[in-house]
Amino acid sequence: MTLVVAVVGPTATGKSDLGLALAQALGGEVVNADALQLYRGMDVGTAKVPPAERRGVPHHLLDVLDPREEASVADYQEQARAVVADLRARGVRPVVVGGSGLYVRALLDHLEFPGTDPDVRAALEARVEAEGARRLHDELAAADPVAAEGIGPRNARRIVRALEVIALTGRRYSASLPRHEYAVPAVQIGLDCDRPTLDARVAGRVDRMWDGGMLAEVERLLAHGLGRTAARAVGYAQAAAQLRGELDEAGARAETTAATRRLARKQMGWFGRDPRVHWLDAQDPELVEHALDLVRRADAGTLAAPTDAPSMRRTLGS
């Protein structure tokens, strides 16, 4: 069975470029695993590769949602696995590219999605408004300490979801979280770089966003309507605040840069905990060849388990 190649890691490390290079070299096609790149019209702020720059490589699961819709990991899992199955049936290498950790795990790993109940959720959300998220987090800690440890006391949305799952299933929420066990066999290649370099890359990306039409993009999206996920996305929330006069341009750029750096550290925390990721230096001049070597050895069954993850994790710190 053809292994999926997954290029993962923090934002601004060059995942899209490496994914394109690997797809070209391996005769593959790219499968998007960035939650925001699912949305039509969200191009500048997500660093979506323009069609003219995709080097003729087909891309899947880009521009499949209206910005007014809410992305669903469960829907993504179904759609992405169908795409991967089709590519394999045609003898084409799937190259998954993205930094949305839960989406990558949903595609690759054994991951269940318990149902929802609007009444249960509404009741929990009303309690958050009346009692505060911290009170419900205390309840979650008593019912499922593992889940509570991974969910901050101010993350009301995830606290509500965890308590909803517990109420509906009678099981701990953490029991439904993904295990490091492939349902779709893959080799994961992580990109990382030292903290000052990544910070500089992030700042450069934000400048390119604003210089490349970010405000005009957000103005168009707002006229069409934005759902909660799209409206709160890093960069889009700050650009909208600038358009409303709540931030000047310098402030919007600065807040986006700071939020993107926080996002990068969060992504590194997610992927850095996965012991299966083979980490490469994003600045390596022979990056593509080293990545291809990993794929060749994985295909041959001679790729050893990663040993460099701890040292690479230190580059971003916490």
CB crowding 277-289: b at 16 or more within 10 Å, else e: bbbbbbeeeebbe
16 labeled part of a ligand binding site: yes
Q: At what angle do helices 101-108 and 249-272 cross, to 10 degrees?
A: 30
Separation of alpha carbons 133 and 135, rounded Å: 5
14 labeled part of a ligand binding site: yes
The answer to whether 120 and 168 have CB atoms below 8 angstroms apart is yes
E strand residue ranges, the chain:
4-8, 28-32, 59-60, 93-97, 186-192, 278-281
DSSP string over 30-68: EEE--GGGGBTT--GGGTPPPGGGSTT--EESSS-B-TT
197 labeled part of a ligand binding site: no
Tokens of 297: 């050895």
12 labeled part of a ligand binding site: yes
9 labeled part of a ligand binding site: yes
114 labeled part of a ligand binding site: no
Per-residue H/E/C for 185-205: CEEEEEEECCHHHHHHHHHHH
> What does residue 160 show for φ and ψ, rounded to 5 degrees?
-60, -45
Tokens of 276: 């299966």
Residue stretches of the annotated binding site for substrate:
11-16
Annotated binding-site residue numbers: 9-16
Binding residues for ATP: 9-16
